[in-house]
A = this chain, B = another copy of it.
């Protein structure tokens, strides 16, 4: 490809909304161009990079006996009603009426379409296990699109669906896919990626893992143990609770004046925050009159994902509800309105001598005993892990890092096959619902992750396995006929060898060419100049470590091929 003709503009300045490295660099290098909020066009370098990533994904999926198929982007309401998700998914799913007034939607994921395809085709256990996958455009109407390709509304995604006879077979296959995902991330050049246990969220199912790229700009919090390999998404992470023991005293109403926060009350009563209980008020999503109060120990925070799972309902912040509020004053566990759904965190189980709200303006109780002073309370884990908490596996210190989700895998169970009536005949002649797994990777997210992790002050550093062009040739003094002849020959010869080459054939200075080459980030830079040609040499520079050396023009094809092979080694 000739750079002079490439539809891709390099700029000094990034768009105003670009705050993170990957967004700034992909925009400045001309890889992406924004069309709307969270919607981008990809220019040739970005699309080539996308295709190289897709090729690696295909190879790994095919190695897991995947069958590549294609599901539609637009689906009818009826298909999504079979699983119940037409109702349960919120405004992140685009719904519209077609010209015949039928309700349609844009797919964000394709469990329903996968079951629709496999249903009836798969009728016997002998046909399983089976995995189908696609690489397709998806649209998710994100409220907070951000970070260039990190969190977009439209994206290209590989999504795979497996069907199994037994839970054990799913678990085996799940591990195979887990390995394939590790292969993919390694092969596309990511370094600091890990897998963490995660919440299965809107997918349903039980066991799930997310693959995360650890990076400061990640918006997910990941809990990691400093001693063992325990790691989990904040949403499901647990820790060993230290349970201090306090004296079991009499329940006493005390005046706490205008003090409201845990800090204020603890200070006034001269107790540690651990000796208090905090109430956090929510409402069931869609019904502000259905109040949910979560109690956690004063030094802890409520983990909303855990709370939702515990009550099997989606919750949102409580806005005060209808006319007659059922909560008032300093909220506490005693004598709460019976209509309120109350959840107690494990941290409060068996605790006595505690400070709690008295449901009365200006007052708290001291000496509250969670075994004595409330009835029928059940205690579940709904609190957030903090840095320094103890690992639930080894007791070591936990730390928290930020991460970007780069892939996820789920053991779905029979949620979709049961609701959609997909059955196969087992060896005993009995019908059963196959057990499913599903597995996703966003291609654009992968591009952004690579850009986020692999760069320097001068621009992108694209791994050779996914680089749009392996070689970026800079021709200095394009107007010198000998230079032009030698450069053109090398360009053609490299391409004849199957090497992707971007040739900077512009009539401009070396500085501009080198800056553009650094910014665009191809792994190998080749300089053909009158000076080096005087010694019958060309200059090779490795982008990632700036190592430069000269090789004889005669040997340049072999030298470059060997260098490519050497660079590729790293990602095998």
Residues of A within 8 A of B (CB): 1, 4-9, 30, 33, 35-37, 39-44, 46-48, 50-51, 65, 67-76, 79, 91-92, 94-96, 98-100, 102, 104, 106, 113, 116-118, 120-122, 126-127, 130, 132, 134, 136-137, 139, 141, 143, 153-154, 156
Residues of B within 8 A of A65 (CB): 5
**B99 in contact with A92 (CB, 8 Å):** yes
**B30 in contact with A121 (CB, 8 Å):** yes
Give min CB distance, A77 to chain B, whole Å.
9
A74 to B93 CA separation, bound complex (whole angstroms): 13
**From A122, which residue of chain B is reached at the shortest CB distance?**
B7
**A interface majority secondary structure:** mixed
Residues of B within 8 A of A143 (CB): 99
Residues of B within 8 A of A47 (CB): 68-70, 134
Q: Which residue of the partner chain, among B9, B96, B154, contacts A120 with CB atoms under 8 Å?
A: B9
Residues of B within 8 A of A91 (CB): 99
A510 to B570 CA separation, bound complex (whole angstroms): 50
Number of identical monomers bound together in the oligomeric complex = 2
A113 to B5 CA separation, bound complex (whole angstroms): 19
Residues of B within 8 A of A71 (CB): 35, 41
**B75 in contact with A39 (CB, 8 Å):** yes
Give min CB distance, A439 to chain B, whole Å.
16
**A48 in contact with B68 (CB, 8 Å):** yes
**From A1, which residue of chain B is reached at the shortest CB distance?**
B67
A228 to B110 CA separation, bound complex (whole angstroms): 52
Known: A9-B121, A91-B99. A42 touches B67 (CB 8 A): no
Residues of B within 8 A of A73 (CB): 73, 137, 139, 154
**B42 in contact with A154 (CB, 8 Å):** no
Q: Which residue of the partner chain, among B41, B68, B100, contacts A113 with CB atoms under 8 Å?
A: B41
Residues of B within 8 A of A1 (CB): 67
Q: Which residue of the partner chain, among B69, B96, B100, B118, contacts A42 with CB atoms under 8 Å?
A: B69
**From A50, which residue of chain B is reached at the shortest CB distance?**
B70
**A72 in contact with B130 (CB, 8 Å):** no
A156 to B134 CA separation, bound complex (whole angstroms): 14
A5 to B65 CA separation, bound complex (whole angstroms): 9
Q: Which residue of the partner chain, among B39, B67, B94, B116, contacts A33 with CB atoms under 8 Å?
A: B116
**From A62, which residue of chain B is reached at the shortest CB distance?**
B1
**From A123, which residue of chain B is reached at the shortest CB distance?**
B9
Give min CB distance, A507 to chain B, whole Å.
9
A41 to B74 CA separation, bound complex (whole angstroms): 11
Residues of B within 8 A of A134 (CB): 47
**B41 in contact with A117 (CB, 8 Å):** yes
**B75 in contact with A36 (CB, 8 Å):** yes
